[in-house]
Amino acid sequence: VSTQSTGRRHLLMDATDRPQIIEHCNKSLTYVVYDTRWIPSSARFVTLGCHARGTGALQIMELKKGGVEVVHESEKHAAFKCGTFGASSMAERHLATGDFDGRLSVWDLERTEMPVYSVKAHDVIVNAIDGCGGLNIGSGAPEIVTGSRDGTVRVWDPRQRDTPVAALEPEEGGPARDCWSVAFGNSYNAEERCVVAGFDNGDVKLFDLRMNEIRWEGNVSNGACWVEFDRKNIEMNKLLACTLESRFRMYDCRTLHPTKGFCSLTEQAHKSTVWCGRFLPQNRDLFATGGGNGNINLYKYSYPSQRKMKDEHGYEYGIPGTVELLQTKNFSTQPICSMDFSADKEGLVVMGSFDQSVRVAVVTKLDQVGK
């Protein structure tokens, strides 16, 4: 069940009530930035990227006096592609990274000389990473999922060396599709957990870790640059998939029809690649996308009056909701390739772009949009 979003409302809120996206500060970098992440319970964030000589750049920056200052930096042998704090405890706040050599490493940011955990996760570059079971979010063991150009998706437990606890491999003899994005979800108790992965041919696959099987798969027509659930620690609800060709798709994952799968809506955005998408930690119905045109778009998702119905055979199928564009703001002439909302300060967002700069912005009046 799919619907092209029609009759949607764009910028219909009164101008005085609409959220505003205001740039707080920006900093030029000497390297290409690929990922930006807030360090939990702090006014600091980490940037990950690649120096011109191919080495890895890791910098910790802190908000100070209306600007941003570098408080720590480290250069490593291989360039960094992605990072997450999702599998770390709040006390340790260890950063897990994926690099261009296919290695997964976990770093103590107080001592970055050597990782506290490291494994050769893939033969080639780790394109995407996510964590679960840490930061008091999600139930069950702390786990890290990595997706690679070699077409594999692997789940790692940092307490278990060298061997993944689960793996999604390409069919033997078949082509290996480049995995561009991964995310955890459905971690609402100690047993349930799933991983969703997006691939360069538009495939989106949902892997059930408890059953050790693919639960659902679909296709978004173009490369799936980004996938993310609205929350990791609830039963699967909404799944955002950002794609090439200036579209994103929102799936309602509460109702799985045996033949139609999950219902979804498709929305045009940015008139260019939609590089990333993030749900607001404080309100799961608000989300933002980063575009190839250097814009940040802020949306609100509204549920339909009835989320599911039954077909003529008695099977339930989902009904998609609608999205409303609340605000859009241009920050750069280059793509916004990474974005992260602060879980501690509502509306505070850090973003990286291919103009070799990092920006911190504030989204205002979010309390007027409604929870």
What value does the mean pLDDT take over residues 191-215?
94
Judged against a pLDDT cut of 90, whether residue 291 lies above it is answered with: yes
Answer for the pair 36, 352: CB distance below 8 angstroms, yes or no. Answer: yes
pLDDT score for 11: 46
pLDDT score for 159: 87
What value does the mean pLDDT take over residues 116-143?
90
Q: Quote the mean pLDDT of the chain.
A: 92
What value does the mean pLDDT take over residues 280-299?
96
CA angle 54, 332, 47 (to 5 degrees): 40
**10-19, 230-239, 263-272, 347-356 — which is least confidently predicted?**
10-19
pLDDT score for 319: 95
pTM, to two decimals: 0.92
Question: How far apart, in whole angstroms, are the C-alpha atoms of residue 315 and residue 311?
Answer: 6
pLDDT score for 288: 97
For residue range 237-271, list pLDDT tens digits in order.
Answer: 999 999 998 999 999 999 999 999 999 999 999 99
Continuous segment of H or E residues that includes residue 97: strand 95-99
pLDDT score for 85: 96
Under the banding of pLDDT at 50, 70 and 90, the label for residue 6 is very low
Contacts for 146 with CB less than 8 Å, ≥ 6 apart? 98, 104, 121, 122, 126, 128, 129, 153, 154, 156, 182
What value does the mean pLDDT take over residues 358-362?
97
